[in-house]
Amino acid sequence: MALFQINEPGETPAPHARRYAVGIDLGTTNSLVAIVRNGFAETLPDESGRHLLPSVVRYLKDDIVVGDAALAAAAEDPFNTISSVKRFMGRGVEDVRHLGKTLPYEFVASESKMPRLRTVAGEYSPVEISAEILKTLKRRAEKTLAAVIDDAVITVPAYFDEAQRQATKDAARLAGLNVLRLLNEPTAAAIAYGLDKNPEGIYVVYDLGGGTFDVSILRLNRGVFEVMATAGDSALGGDDMDRAIAAWIMQQADIRDDADQRQLRRLLRAARAAKETLTIAMRASIVVERNGGDAWHGELTREQLHALVDSLIEKTLAPCRRALRDAELKLQDIQGVVLVGGATRMPLVRERVQKFFDREPLVDIDPDKVVTVGAALQADVLVGNRRGNDMLLLDVIPLSLGLEVMGGMVEKILPRNSPIPAARAQDFTTFKDGQTALLIHVLQGERELITDCRSLARFELRGIPPMPAGGARIRVTFQVDADGLLSVSAREQTTGVESNVVVKPSYGLTDAEIERMLRESIAHAHEDESARRLRETQVDAERLITAVQAALYADGDTLLSKPERTDIEMAIAQLRHLRDGNEPRPIQDGIRALDEVSREFAERRMNAGIRRALAGHRLNEFEASSKD
């Protein structure tokens, strides 16, 4: 390259010298992506300046639409427009039936028991749908930064179990992202506030999003973020408030309970709009088109809204009490309460939280963006852009992990709220004389009976030497990594025979499904490789254009004749035109052309820089210095 960019000591070099990693909040209602630039975390907007990406995917026969355009079509094309897919992540068909007819989708069972949603373009799992949202955020970041993005920290609700966490990682994998870490949303919020304000003490993070509620209690002290306790409800959020308002509209507008899905989508859209209006106004006008062609006009007051959603907000306080009890804390031990999630904009939520904790909550950072900001800060640390180990995260296991023992009981190995990463072992023995094999059943939950807990995995340990009952010593080890994913191993101590399992959640993608998706990616490998090569060439072109333009601005008037400057500007214009093409070779030719025409200019700049450095000095000064 002809031009050199010379930086002052301590300044950040060219953008491409920095390794970028993004933070992503894969939300139920909206998703965001953020990056750290010049030491500050910022969320990235789309071409229209919108930071929030609606978590909505619409499938057409020959296209996939994500975001605002998909949301706008939800009422008219409800069967092919998927929203709130986060609620289905890591769950089976039976798990989502409680949502009943409010869901306009047709679910299809698959080999993995994960629900698949039938659309005009085919059947898709929640993992595949979420991957489309992640791909859109990835493209947004790459376009904004003019860089290829591979690494990300993705946030998840603290109460997500193994199945839901694994499903999130699968979605990122399909989107072409390497997950540096799955970060609990409340912890991400604490990072955002902690690094901005450096608080010390015990804080509560109250996170009420579109589809999930989490409360976490964290001890913050000199860069150490320790999660003391966490609780919540993975099926409670702003979407439930929308449904309560929609039910009220149906009653007021005399809309039958068996309304079709288009009508229900229109109701939900009107309900959400009214809820958002009432965060800043006392009254909201509502207009809903009915199937007969006429429209119902009505009004909802803030007082009426509060009456409709009060019971839902009350449900969030029980986990708050449980978290305080688990952390063995009293209300006076809490130094502050951080609000996270769009639903916390509602005045009643803030009032109830303030009354419960007896202190005004912190809302300095946009509650929609705070989680993404924290994720971006953590991503910046994990890729080594920050010097030193200036942050330590101590997340916890949200639910206890254990084994089935005789009598259908659960022996807890890793209790809930254990800090992760974690590893713990416990010795077991055989029940019968001469027993040579052992079935190990891994469970998750707080109840004492296996029927009340969730089965995670089963595996067998064979080759145990025949011994009297109780003679064998079998050590079972549980290991949970930083993402909250579990592996279990069993080893017979006298012989060394061993077996293990990496827990594959009941509703995660099966190996066959992942293989199918990977086969599809291999089938399109040439196209994908070409697309990446094109993108990298476009990035190189953008960097060169930026560098040459900066040089022209600084020294163009003094070091170039008018014809020379015109030639360079024409080469820039030509490369900018080529950059938007679909083939890398013409762009490469344009890069070489601009490089060639600006080479003499680069040499003049370098010579001018040397002359400035020598100004005021004599040659013998440098000769003497070299002799020393």
> Which of the following is catalytic: 77, 86, 214, 233?
86
Do the beta carbons of residue 512 and residue 111 sit within 8 Å? Answer: yes
The rounded distance, in Å, linking the Cα atoms of 232 and 158 is: 8
Task: Give the H/E segment covering residue 404.
Answer: strand 401-405
Residues 6+ apart with CB under 8 A from 580: none
Give which of 625, 2, 30 is closest to 342, Cα–Cα: 30
Do strands 107-108 and 201-208 pair parallel, antiparallel, or not at all (unpaired)? unpaired
Residues 6+ apart with CB under 8 A from 385: 18, 19, 21, 36
The rounded distance, in Å, linking the Cα atoms of 599 and 604 is: 9
Do the beta carbons of residue 241 and residue 266 sit within 8 Å? Answer: no
How many other CB atoms are found less than 10 A from the CB of residue 202? 18
Active site residue 207: yes
> Which of the following is catalytic: 25, 132, 240, 492?
25
Burial annotation 237-263 (CB, 10 A radius, 16+ → b, else e): bbbbbbbbbbbbbbeebebeeebebbb
In the chain, the amino acid numbered 627 is K
Give which of 145, 140, 141, 148 is closest to 15, Cα–Cα: 145
Residues 6+ apart with CB under 8 A from 553: none
Q: Tell me how far CA of residue 283 lies from CA of 40, 295, 306, in angstroms.
A: 38, 19, 12
Going edge to edge, which strands form the sheet with 201-208? Answer: 336-340, 201-208, 213-221, 224-233, 392-396, 419-420
Q: Tell me how far CA of residue 626 lies from CA of 360, 537, 586, 621, 623, in angstroms.
A: 66, 43, 48, 9, 5
> Which of the following is catalytic: 170, 185, 492, 542?
185
The rounded distance, in Å, linking the Cα atoms of 369 and 29 is: 13
Strands (DSSP E) contained in 85-223 are: 107-108, 116-119, 122-124, 151-156, 178-184, 201-208, 213-221
Give the tokens for residue 245. Answer: 């308002």
Residue with tokens 């979605």: 171
Active site residue 25: yes
Q: Three-state SS for 494?
A: coil
The rounded distance, in Å, linking the Cα atoms of 595 and 541 is: 10
Do the beta carbons of residue 51 and residue 369 sit within 8 Å? Answer: yes
The rounded distance, in Å, linking the Cα atoms of 228 and 223 is: 15
147: number of CA atoms within 13 Å, CB side? 15
Read out DSSP for 270-335?
A: HHHHHHHHTTT-SEEEEEEE-TTS-EEEEEEEHHHHHHHHHHHHHHHHHHHHHHHHHTT--GGG--
> Which of the following is catalytic: 161, 162, 207, 404?
207
Active site residue 314: no
The rounded distance, in Å, linking the Cα atoms of 159 and 6 is: 49
Q: Which residues are designated catalytic?
A: 25, 86, 185, 207
